Amino acid sequence: MADNDIKTTEGQGYSRRQFLIGAGGVGIGALAGGFMVKSFFLPDSVFAVPASEGYLVVDTHKCAGCASCMLACSLVHSGETSLSLSRIQVINNVFAAYGEEDSVVQEQCRQCPHPYCAEACPTGAMHADPDNGNVRTVDQAKCIGCERCIEACPFTPSRVQWDPKKRKAQKCDLCKDTPYMTEEGGVGGQQACVAVCPTRAISFVSDIPAQTDTGYQVNLRDDNVAWALLGLPTEDDGSYAPVATAAPAPTGH
């Protein structure tokens, strides 16, 4: 999966595989989850924080690239619609084939078990929020705009982003701080991108999916009754459950 392209910088000295091993270390987070502390250092100086209690997963086989999630994200957080202010980024190559790598990718924060963004923050602004299921988020009052968190994010593009008006970092908070959304957000609440996605390509889950060198795979197609009826693939190999499609929909031409 394209959005698992991990940066490998000489100074930081971690590799893609090393990161994935770290990211796979859900146990660290799980262990720490009961301590209600924002972060701590294990004996071997590994920075660790409690595991997030929620994650967004995306089925890129369903994504239509409409960017409704991006518009909703910026709308409920900032009160305006903007792709640049969206905490989830969809990069769509409309000329690429179905199934082709990078044809359409959704770049959402993974709420990493080992959040390098939080580790890099010199003020504690980037932290796991114990009042919101340990989601990794930015305390804007503490953010000094140094951008170290943006640089530290191992993904490309960085899941931590820059708000040019506030001159501070921002990132996905699972919709906890959404002054422009009627429903309550955050863990246990509504996520704007999930609610608005017209193909149900985004889902909130409590457990991070298993990851490999090629990313993670989620299939949000096979539980959609209508998906196969529409003749759209339900399986990762492009096939779909053998459901007879009825007459063409009487829509206009």
Residues 6+ apart with CB under 8 A from 159: 87, 107, 108, 109, 110, 117, 153, 171, 172
Query: Shortest distance, CB of residue 34 to another protein, whole angstroms?
Result: 35
CA 123, CA 140: separation in Å to the nearest integer? 11
CA 202, CA 187: separation in Å to the nearest integer? 15
Nearer to another protein, 39 or 199 (CB): 199
Measuring CA to CA, which residue among 127, 174, 124, 116 is closest to residue 149? 116
The residue type found at 58 is V
Query: Shortest distance, CB of residue 26 to another protein, whole angstroms?
Result: 27
Q: Exposed (0-12), middle (13-18) or buried (19+): which is 48, by Cβ within 10 Å?
A: buried
Nearer to another protein, 3 or 53 (CB): 3
Query: Shortest distance, CB of residue 165 to another protein, whole angstroms?
Result: 9
Cα angle, residue 236 at apex, residues 234 and 242 outer, rounded to 5°: 35
Nearer to another protein, 46 or 96 (CB): 96
CA 252, CA 58: separation in Å to the nearest integer? 31
Query: Shortest distance, CB of residue 97 to another protein, whole angstroms?
Result: 4
Query: Shortest distance, CB of residue 240 to another protein, whole angstroms?
Result: 8
Nearer to another protein, 37 or 144 (CB): 144
Query: Shortest distance, CB of residue 32 to another protein, whole angstroms?
Result: 30
Nearer to another protein, 61 or 127 (CB): 61
Chain-centroid distance of CA 24 in Å reads 16
Nearer to another protein, 68 or 111 (CB): 68
